[in-house]
Amino acid sequence: MILAAEQENPLALHTDELVFGFIALFVLLFVMYRMWPKITSVLDERANQIEGGIERARKAEAEAEEIRQQYREKIEEAHRQYAQELEKAKEQRAAIIAEAREEAQAEARRVIEAAHAQIEADRQHALAQLRGEIGTLSTDLAERIVGETLSDSAAQNRVIDRFLDELEQSESQAEVR
C-alpha cells in the first residue's frame, strides 16, 4: 500500500493513456464528422422551409394588397360611372321633358288652328246659306209686295227695279267678300 502510494501521483501523465485518449478522440471525431452532414442538412432544410414559408406569406400578402387595391380602384370607377350615368340620365330626362312639352305645344297650336279653320269654314258656310236664304226671303217678300201692287202705277215699277239693282249689288259685294 505504501509502495503503491509512492507511484500514485495524481498528476502523473501515463503515456499509454495519452495514446488511448488520442485514439479514442480520433475515432470519435472520424465517426462524428461522417455523421455530421445529416444534422446540418436537416437544420439547413428547416431554415430554408421557414424562410420559404415567410417569403411565401410575404408574397401572398403583397398579392392580397394588390388585389385589394384593384378592387378599390374598380369600386371607385364604378362610383364614377354611376355618377356619370346619373348625370346623363338627368340630362336626358330634362331633354325628354322639354321635347314633350314642345310637341304638346305644337299639337295644341295645331288643334287650335284646325278649330279656327273649322270655325271659319262653318262661318263661311253659314254666311253663304244665310245669304241664299236672305235672297229667297227677299224674293218672296218682293214677290208678295210686287204681286199686290203690280197693278199700281209706273212709280211702283221703278221701286221694283231699284230694289232688284240693289239686291244684285249686294250679292256681288257678298261674293267679293
Partner 1 sequence: MSDEAFHAAAGEDCHLFGDNNCGFEEVAPTVSVFFPEPFMEFGLPLTAGITKYTLMLVISVLLVMGFWYLATRRAAVVPGRLQSVAEMLVTFIRDQVTRQQMGQAGDKYLPMMVTLFLFIFVMNAMGIIPGLQLPVTSHIAYPAALAIYVYVMWNAIGIKKHGVAGHFVGRVVPGGTPKWILPLLVPIEIAQNFIAKPVTHALRPFAAMLSGHLLLAVFAAGGFYMFNLGADGFLSVVSVGYSGLALVAFVVFTGFELFIMALQAYVFIMLASSYLGEALEGQH
List interacting residues with partner 1 (CB under 8 A).
1, 4-5, 7-8, 10-18, 20-22, 24-25, 27-29, 31-33, 35-36, 38-39, 41-43, 45-46, 49
CA 122 – CA 125 distance, rounded (Å): 5
Q: Minimal distance in Å, beta carbon 79 to partner 1?
A: 50
Q: Minimal distance in Å, beta carbon 58 to partner 1?
A: 21
Which residues, 6 or more positions from 167, have their beta carbon under 8 angstroms from its beta carbon? Answer: 135, 138
Residue (1 or 154) nearer to partner 1, CB = 1
136: its cell numbers: 229667297
Q: Minimal distance in Å, beta carbon 33 to partner 1?
A: 6
Residue (43 or 128) nearer to partner 1, CB = 43
CA 63 – CA 56 distance, rounded (Å): 10
Sole residue written with cell 271659319 = 120
Q: Minimal distance in Å, beta carbon 57 to partner 1?
A: 18
Residue (34 or 177) nearer to partner 1, CB = 34
Contact by Cβ (8 Å): 149, 156: yes
Residue (52 or 132) nearer to partner 1, CB = 52
Q: What is the dihedral of CA 64, 67, 68, 72, to 10 degrees?
A: 170
